[in-house]
Amino acid sequence: MDKIKILLVEDEVFLGQIVKESFETRGFAVKHFTDGEKGLEGYKTMNPDICVLDVMLPLMDGFSLAKEIKKINHNQPIIFLTAKSMTEDVIKGFSIGADDYVRKPFSMEELIMRVKAVLGRNMQREEKLQVEQVSEYEVGQFNFLPIKQELHHHTGIKKLTSRESELLRMLCESKNSLVERDVILKQLWGDDTFFNARSMDVFITKLRKYLKEDTEVELLNVRGRGYKLIF
């Protein structure tokens, strides 16, 4: 069985070595880079299962690196590992498409648990998409193809991330009906923590942006309760 591959980009050499060795002792394959530019080159040759990126990196910061990685593979799982704790930084990370955000100082057991959780959720989402019975939803002027993770409109095709696709699928399945916030959070994010809730809000904003081409389609926020997709 192939080892799970981790791309680790951390400029603190000692910390990076500790993280690398800790994962390797648990059966992971890890490549460690100390700046964003080397990390990007390493990503292109490695094809990792998950990326663990520090934010404050030399040459290219973690947010910029994540954006470049997402251009190559928009479904790439990413965890930010950083000392930055401002809420706006967390939201920025999630808006780029990060799956989790771990603050320094941290325990290795926590980081390993979070990596396994992200990988598990992504695998579950892929399995759900593969067995999804509905191959296409008509959403006003749009055609949503959950298996391909595409949103088609006469102006073009928008490629969705796994989480965007799963969120839109949940809303389509409950067309014109309320989908509870905690149901979405527990099903797609694993729990209903504050930061996961803020991440979900970012994804809702993204879907609204994608759907704005059709003024007859509305993604409503029912304050304190959840969301309705109306068309």
Please write the tens of the pLDDT for every residue from 53-69.
Answer: 999 999 999 999 999 99
CATH code, domain with 39: 3.40.50.2300
Q: How confident is the model at residue 133 (pLDDT cuts 50, 70, 90)?
A: low
Question: End of a domain among 91, 112, 128?
Answer: 128
Mean pLDDT along residues 120-142: 72
Q: What percent of the chain has pLDDT over 90?
A: 52
* Closest-CA residue to 142 (of 207, 211, 203, 209): 211
**pLDDT computed for residue 1 by the predictor:** 59
* pLDDT confidence bin for 96, thresholds 50/70/90: confident
With a CB cutoff of 8 Å and minimum separation 6, the contacts of 181 are: 192, 197, 200, 225, 226, 227
Compute the distance between CA of residue 130 and CA of residue 132 in angstroms, rounded to an integer: 6
Tokens of 197: 């809730």
Average pLDDT, the chain: 88
Q: How confident is the model at residue 183 (pLDDT cuts 50, 70, 90)?
A: confident
Taking 90 as the threshold, does the pLDDT of residue 163 lie above it? no
Domains of the chain: total: 2
What whole-number distance in Å separates Cα of residue 136 and Cα of residue 146? Answer: 7
Same domain for 79 and 141?
Answer: no
Residues 11, 122 within the same domain: yes
Q: What is the CATH number of the domain that holds 220?
A: 1.10.10.10
Residues 94 and 35 in one domain: yes
Q: What is the pLDDT of residue 186?
A: 84
Does 6 or 224 have the greater pLDDT score?
6
Give the span between the Cα atoms of 198 and 227, in whole angstroms: 14
Q: What percent of the chain has pLDDT over 70?
A: 94
- Note whether 120 and 141 are same-domain residues: no
The pTM score is 0.62
Task: Give the model confidence (pLDDT) of 11-24 as tens digits.
Answer: 999 999 999 999 99
Range of the structural domain that residue 121 is part of: 5-128
Q: Are residues 100 and 151 in the same domain?
A: no
Residue 205 has pLDDT above 60, yes or no: yes
Question: Which of 110, 128, 146 delimits the end of a domain?
Answer: 128
Residue 126's pLDDT is what?
A: 63
What pLDDT does 31 receive?
A: 96
Q: Are residues 136 and 122 in the same domain?
A: no
